Structures are given as C-alpha cells and as structure tokens.
Amino acid sequence: MDDAGPADVFVRIVQVADQFHLSVDNVVVASSGQAINLVPDLIRALDDAVIPRLTTLRAVHAGAVLLGERALLLPGATHAGKSSLVAELLRRGATYFSDEYAFIDSRGYVHPYPRPLLVRNGCPEQLPMLAEEYNATVGDVAAPVGWIVSLEYMREGKWNVATVPQSEALLNLLRNTPHVLSEMPDMIGVFQRAVAGAACYAGRRSEVADAADHVLQLTGGV
C-alpha cells in the first residue's frame, strides 16, 4: 500500500486511570469518566480539523435541510438552537444536510455535511443523534438555496419574522462564517450567488415545534 504521508491532524481517545481523554495533536481538549461522553467533543474536533482545510467550499454556521429540490439555510451562532430546529424539520420529512455548518461551492450551491446532530433534548449536555433516528434521509447531492431564515430564539417568545432584503441575508452569512475574509476574498461572491435565488427572512422564533410550523409555511412545506 502506498505511503499516504503524515496525518494533518492526530486525534485520539486514551484512558488514564478512571478517565478518558480526547486529544488533538497531543493536546488534551476534553476528559470524562465515560468515553461515550466525549463523542460531542470528538465531532467538534473533527469540525475544527475540516473547516480550515476546505479548498473549493466555503463554510457558514447554519443548519441546512433539503425541502424538495432546494436547500433551506438557518444561519446562526453555536447555541442558537439550529440543531433542535433542524431535528424537528427532519421529523416533518426534510432531508438532512447539516445541523451546524453549511458548505457552499462557487455556484452558490449547498453541499451535505451530514455529521451527527448534536441536540440537547431538554438536557444540559448535547447528545449525538443520527438523521436516521428521526426517520430522515441524508442528502448526497448539492442543491441551490431556496430560503435563508435567520432566527434568534427567545424563550417563551412569539414568532416574529419578516422578509429581509438579500443584502441583509448576505451580511448574516458573512457574520456567521468561520473563515477570515482577507484570507478568502472569493467568499463574498460565493455567498452572493447562494443568496441570489433565495427568499430571505429574519427575526425571533418561538419554541421549536411552533417555529417549524412557521418555517414550513414560509417555504411551502416539505
């Protein structure tokens, strides 16, 4: 077998006494008494390894599902409730692309990045879930963006979402990218092409079941 050369990133879990340690490039990033508890940290460590090494795709913090033949993007920072809303949309028949990062190509198309969802389900800790556990299918082909819905979760709040211009949606994507613009000057053009064919909305959302109802009303259903 050909020598593939040294690994770009070295990730491992080792047990020392009664603790399991997750290390990335020999630096411990998380520890737990049970190895299963390190799975969310492992998923995030793999994200951190993948994102800086993207060459032809650009990433944005966004949940992404396929509705029909077009993708719905739900941009927002970590802990914004993207995963719970994506999970609810999967229960309603959406096709899974990602719960945390949307990968966009030079055409403005979204590519699946179907990592396990990290959801809380009412618990303080995130739990890994597969799309199949929601009886959902996983996307395998890039799709154009049909809708961009930027939501802020307000506990006990009401749905208050309005149409916004594509320029505002573009800014929301740029605010939520992990990339540095000066290092990837093509990123604005990539996101502009993603936004160009999309209906764009922003505002505050309610609890996840009610929010999913409203989102599917905006998009015309699954």
In a domain, 6, yes or no: no
161 and 176 part of one domain? yes
101 and 125 part of one domain? yes
Start-to-end CA span in the chain (Å): 46
Predicted confidence (pLDDT) at residue 206 exceeds the cutoff of 50:
yes
Residue 84's nearest CA partner among 113, 48, 122 is 122
Phi, psi of 83 (to 5 degrees): -65, -40
CA–CA dist 81, 51 (Å, integer): 21
pTM: 0.89
**Which domain covers residue 121, as residue numbers?**
57-219
Write the pLDDT tens digit of every residue in 33-91: 888 888 989 999 999 989 999 999 999 999 999 999 999 999 987 777 899 999 999 99
Predicted pLDDT of residue 4:
55
Specify the DSSP element, H or E, that contains 66.
Answer: strand 58-67
The count of structural domains within the chain is 2
Write the pLDDT tens digit of every residue in 80-129: 789 999 999 999 999 999 999 999 999 999 999 999 999 987 677 788 99
The mean pLDDT of 129-148, rounded to a whole number, is 96
- CATH number assigned to the domain comprising residue 96: 3.90.228.20
142 and 202 part of one domain? yes
- The share of the chain scoring above pLDDT 70, in percent, equals 94
Predicted confidence (pLDDT) at residue 146 exceeds the cutoff of 50:
yes
In a domain, 36, yes or no: yes
Question: How many residues in total does the chain contain?
Answer: 222
In a domain, 70, yes or no: yes
121 and 202 part of one domain? yes
